[in-house]
Amino acid sequence: MAAIVKHFLQFKDLDRAEFEHLFARTRVIKERFKRYQPYHPLADRTLAMIFEKSSTRTRLSFEAGMHQLGGSAIYLNTRDTQLGRGEPVEDAAEVISRMVDVVMIRTFEQDIIERFAAHSRVPVINGLTNEYHPCQILADIFTFIEQRGPIQGKTVAWVGDSNNMCNTWLQAAEVLDFNVHVSTPPGYEVEAERAGLFSTAHYEEFADPMDACRGADLVTTDVWTSMGFEAENAERMKAFADWQVDVEMMSVAAADALFMHCLPAHRGEEVAAEVIDGTQSVVWDEAENRLHSQKALLEYLLLGRITN
Ligand code: CP
Ligand code: NVA
């Protein structure tokens, strides 16, 4: 069996002290990068990136980030590899993890990445599954802290689908002690077990999205139809019509509330153009911070707690 290694398969795989370390390192790594100061702690290290779904930000941020840390990244997808021809995920993990130092996977069910990790000799990072998107929430929370200070005790309003992003916000609320106000259409409610929650103490559900947004420090949403659920698109367009984050919803949030969206966004569906392109939106910083926060994550998983 593979030796025990640290993976990032869901948000709660790391504890609060580890996240505090990652946020501090993200700040250092970002500042260094902005000053064009070379930082190559991962020289000779290789990341394999396995994509079973499309990506712009995740691929680019991991690939560029690995290069900027002195290492290299290899892109693999289901179409061109034996993974697409039915090679067992356990066998793929045994082989791939003998050739590289770290693996990032974007796939469908969480079970696939869990099985891969169980047979991997090296750290495995979740680059999005149907259930979770922990790297995105890492960047989102760093972005919140960068703009507004500590997130502990704050309120995040989630408007829309109880998808991988929503589940990960809920896990993060438990780990970092903040609250999530969730509003989903009927039939799309949070499933606490699927979200991997310990309790319901850190979130509250609201039938009306306006009530979820009231007083919130951050309002966030995501597409109505996630990758892998395209067959439900027509049905979802109808069900989610009243769950668009618009100017009215932002007006009942805290006066200094931020708006976030992991992107790609659909203006006129889950978010009004006036909101995503408005002054409270931090979506471009949020996207950029994928790069910096994942560099901190790669450093931590491969080298431990670096302090220089
Ligand atoms: N937010 C995000 O993960 O974007 P991509 O699908 O482009 O990677
Ligand atoms: N919930 C979306 C996020 C895309 C980054 C999806 O899974 O398609």
Q: What pLDDT score was predicted for residue 3?
A: 55
Q: What is the mean pLDDT of the chain?
A: 97
What is the average per-residue pLDDT within 23-49? 98
**Of the listed ranges 2-6, 89-93, 124-128, 197-201, the one predicted with least confidence:** 2-6
Residues with CB under 6 A from ligand 1: 55-58, 128, 136, 262-263
Q: What pLDDT score was predicted for residue 192?
A: 96
What is the average per-residue pLDDT within 103-108? 98
**Catalytic annotation on 106?**
yes
What is the average per-residue pLDDT within 238-261? 98
| pLDDT tens per residue, range 194-212 | 999 999 999 999 999 999 9
| pLDDT tens per residue, range 162-176 | 999 999 999 999 999
> What is the CA(223)–ligand 2 centre distance, in A?
7
What is the average per-residue pLDDT within 71-75? 98
Q: What is the pTM of this model?
A: 0.98
What is the average per-residue pLDDT within 277-300? 98
The pair of structure tokens assigned to 259 is 């708006």
Q: What pLDDT score was predicted for residue 2?
A: 47
Q: What pLDDT score was predicted for residue 4?
A: 80
| pLDDT tens per residue, range 81-102 | 888 889 999 999 999 999 999 9
CA atoms within 13 A on the CB side of 119: 14
Q: Which domains does the chain have, with CATH numbers?
A: 11-133+287-303 (3.40.50.1370), 136-281 (3.40.50.1370)
Q: Among 188, 236, 262, name the best residue to mutate to test ligand 2's pocket (greatest count of ligand atoms within 8 A of Cβ).
A: 262
What is the average per-residue pLDDT within 221-237? 98
